[in-house]
Structure 1
Amino acid sequence: MVTLENHRLKVQIKELGAELTSVIDQATGYEYIWQADENYWNRHAPVLFPIVGTLNDNQYTYEGQTYQLSRHGFARDEMFQTQMVTTNSATFYLKSNAESLKVYPFEFSFQINYILHENSLTISYEVLNPSADKVLYYSVGGHPAFNVSVTHKGSHMADFDQISYQFHPAGQYLRIPLDNKGLIDYYSAKYELVDNIPIKHKSFRKDAIIYQINGQTEVSLTDNVANTHILMKMNDMSYFGIWSPYPKKAPFVCLEPWAGITDDAYNKVDFTAKRGINALDPHQIKTHDYSITFNKD
């Protein structure tokens, strides 16, 4: 476990999946990150690579061959190597190997950087294509889960208590629905006004809420009971997901910045033509990043 710390926040990251596991407010002791209660969801903030979401039949085709990959890819379950750690930064990396090439036939070097500054944590994903002659196709994204307030009826959770999300700038964003297999129904996508939207458990009855975003989009999550405000700013992320389990009623909400998206339900294509896929030329490197600013009154 790696710990980053300053006078505002204490951050912990584990080497398995290079996963963020804790962000504690130093002044109050408040834990922002979901603590992976397996009765609801046994992860904290998994890294999604080399795919985001679900593939049609959990498989894809590349150069005439068919490969199997489970939801969100394999990086979240791999042990990353620690490259550098200071009091306010840490770098982890994962490289292609004989096992990864069986399910994902691309050489890659995947580096994740965490930088803590005041009450903000910046997370960057650096993807390097070490191949001499082969284009690297990939998707990448984050899936951090944040503790939020809920009401109770007896010993049971009733619903989220005064939780909302907001896009900055507010405006019309394309919302892309999922089918019952977790695939996008792009033909049914519609623009909707995203301003200050309250969240209830039933908001996720059709799985994650997914939007297409642009480079200037910022997203905030406000908890008016715990008096917390989380602001996420993204760079080179084209899609954004918001998720919490349903019908289980768990006291967390995920904010998910994605450079990539789950497969189309009605359009099976070669991996190179997958919607939202990133193509990286030989010996090139590309960075996708986002920052999370934590505030508690």
Structure 2
Amino acid sequence: MVTIENEHLVVQIKLKGAEIASIQDKETGHEYIWQADPAYWNRHSPVLFPIVGSLKDGQMVFAGETYEMSRHGFARDMEFTLQNQTDVSASFYLKSSATTLEKYPFEFSFQINYILQGNTVTVSYEVLNPSSETALYYSVGAHPAFNVSQDEATEEFDRVSLEFIPEGPYSRLPLTEDGLINATASKYERMDKTYLTHDDFKDDALVYQVNQKTEMVLRDEPAGVTINVNPSHMEFVGIWSPYPKRAPFVCIEPWTGIADTTQASGEFAEKYSILQLAPNDLATHGYTMTFTKDV
């Protein structure tokens, strides 16, 4: 476990998946991150790479060859290498190998940087295409799960609200039972301050298209906690909590891409929202999480 900290927060990060395992408020001891109770969901904040969501039939085709990859890709289950660490920052990397090439036919170098400043954690993803000849196709996403309050009797969220800033209409992309995007059923929803219920997630994650100015605000009124999530070069966000299980956490997930659509051809280069990185090029994406706790 790698630990970084300052006067406000203590952040712990696993080498497996370079996954944040804990973010604690130093003054109050409050734990912001879900602690992976396997009865509900055995992860904390997995990193999604080189895909986000599901492939149609669990497969993709590239250069005439068929490859199989499970939902959200393989990075979250692989050991990263610690590249650099200071008191308030840590960097990890994962590179393509014979193992990854069996599932994903691209060379890559994937670096994740965590920087702690005040009560804000900045996460950045650097994707490098080391090939001098072949373009790299990929998506990357975050999946942090935040502890929230529940009513003990009903196991319903207790005054937990979500707000998009600026308020207004955002395109929602619904998921099918197979975890694919039904693009033909997309519609605009006005994202004002909304109190969440578990029934909101009966059809899986709520997926929205956002822009560079969009900020998601999660408020837990009984705990006196506010969490602000600001994506950078991440055009989608998923909001999720398990259903029908009633777990006391909510995920806010900035993504660069989404699952295959129901109409997907299976050709990876044609995948909806897939990113293309030119040979020897580098792309950066990221987001910030700012934590406020009433004393």
Separation in structure 1 between the aligned mates of residue 290 and residue 188 of structure 2, nearest angstrom: 27
Corresponding residue number in structure 1 for 2:258: 261
Corresponding residue number in structure 2 for 1:218: 215
Corresponding residue number in structure 2 for 1:36: 36
The secondary structure found in structure 2 opposite 1:150 is coil
Please, which of 199, 203, 212 is the counterpart of residue 200 of structure 2?
A: 203
Show structure 2 runs of 5+ residues with no match: none
- Counterpart of 1:103 in structure 2: which amino acid? K
The secondary structure found in structure 2 opposite 1:272 is helix
Matches for 1:93-104 after TM superposition, within 5 Å: 93-104=93-104
- Counterpart of 1:62 in structure 2: which amino acid? F
2:19–2:47: 8 Å Cα contact kept in structure 1? yes
What CA deviation, in whole Å up to 9, does each residue of 1:159-181 have, x standing for no partner?
A: 00001111111110001110101
The secondary structure found in structure 2 opposite 1:158 is coil
Normalised to the residue count of structure 1, the TM-score between the two structures is: 0.98
Normalised to the residue count of structure 2, the TM-score between the two structures is: 0.99
What CA deviation, in whole Å up to 9, does each residue of 1:192-218 have, x standing for no partner?
A: 100101100000000000001111111
The secondary structure found in structure 2 opposite 1:111 is strand
Matches for 1:38-57 after TM superposition, within 5 Å: 38-57=38-57
Separation in structure 2 between the aligned mates of residue 83 and residue 152 of structure 1, nearest angstrom: 43
User: If each structure's strand is expressed as a fraction of its own residues, which one has the higher value?
Assistant: 1
Separation in structure 1 between the aligned mates of residue 161 and residue 217 of structure 2, nearest angstrom: 8
Matches for 1:205-284 after TM superposition, within 5 Å: 205-284=202-281
Separation in structure 2 between the aligned mates of residue 22 and residue 159 of structure 1, nearest angstrom: 24
Q: Aligned-pair distance for 1:266?
A: 2.6
What CA deviation, in whole Å up to 9, does each residue of 1:129-179 have, x standing for no partner?
A: 0001000000000000000000022xxx52000011111111100011101
Corresponding residue number in structure 1 for 2:74: 74
Show structure 1 runs of 5+ residues with no match: none
- Counterpart of 1:76 in structure 2: which amino acid? R
2:136–2:278: 8 Å Cα contact kept in structure 1? yes
Separation in structure 2 between the aligned mates of residue 168 and residue 158 of structure 1, nearest angstrom: 28
What CA deviation, in whole Å up to 9, does each residue of 1:47-71 have, x standing for no partner?
A: 0000000010111111111100000
Q: Aligned-pair distance for 1:269?
A: 3.8
Please, which of 278, 288, 291 is the counterpart of residue 285 of structure 2?
A: 288
Separation in structure 1 between the aligned mates of residue 2 and residue 212 of structure 2, nearest angstrom: 31
The secondary structure found in structure 1 opposite 2:285 is strand
- Counterpart of 2:131 in structure 1: which amino acid? S
Separation in structure 2 between the aligned mates of residue 104 and residue 180 of structure 1, nearest angstrom: 25
- Counterpart of 2:280 in structure 1: which amino acid? H
Separation in structure 2 between the aligned mates of residue 225 and residue 268 of structure 1, nearest angstrom: 47
Matches for 1:103-114 after TM superposition, within 5 Å: 103-114=103-114
Instruction: Give the number of aligned pairs.
Output: 294
2:202–2:243: 8 Å Cα contact kept in structure 1? yes
Matches for 1:144-163 after TM superposition, within 5 Å: 144-153=144-153, 158-163=155-160
Separation in structure 2 between the aligned mates of residue 233 and residue 251 of structure 1, nearest angstrom: 22
Matches for 1:44-193 after TM superposition, within 5 Å: 44-153=44-153, 158-193=155-190
Separation in structure 1 between the aligned mates of residue 46 and residue 95 of structure 2, nearest angstrom: 17
The secondary structure found in structure 2 opposite 1:202 is helix
2:264–2:271: 8 Å Cα contact kept in structure 1? no
Separation in structure 2 between the aligned mates of residue 197 and residue 275 of structure 1, nearest angstrom: 29
Separation in structure 1 between the aligned mates of residue 149 and residue 52 of structure 2, nearest angstrom: 28
What CA deviation, in whole Å up to 9, does each residue of 1:224-243 have, x standing for no partner?
A: 11110000111100110000
Separation in structure 2 between the aligned mates of residue 276 and residue 113 of structure 1, nearest angstrom: 24
Separation in structure 1 between the aligned mates of residue 103 and residue 172 of structure 2, nearest angstrom: 31
- Counterpart of 1:212 in structure 2: which amino acid? Q
The secondary structure found in structure 2 opposite 1:57 is helix
Separation in structure 2 between the aligned mates of residue 271 and residue 147 of structure 1, nearest angstrom: 35
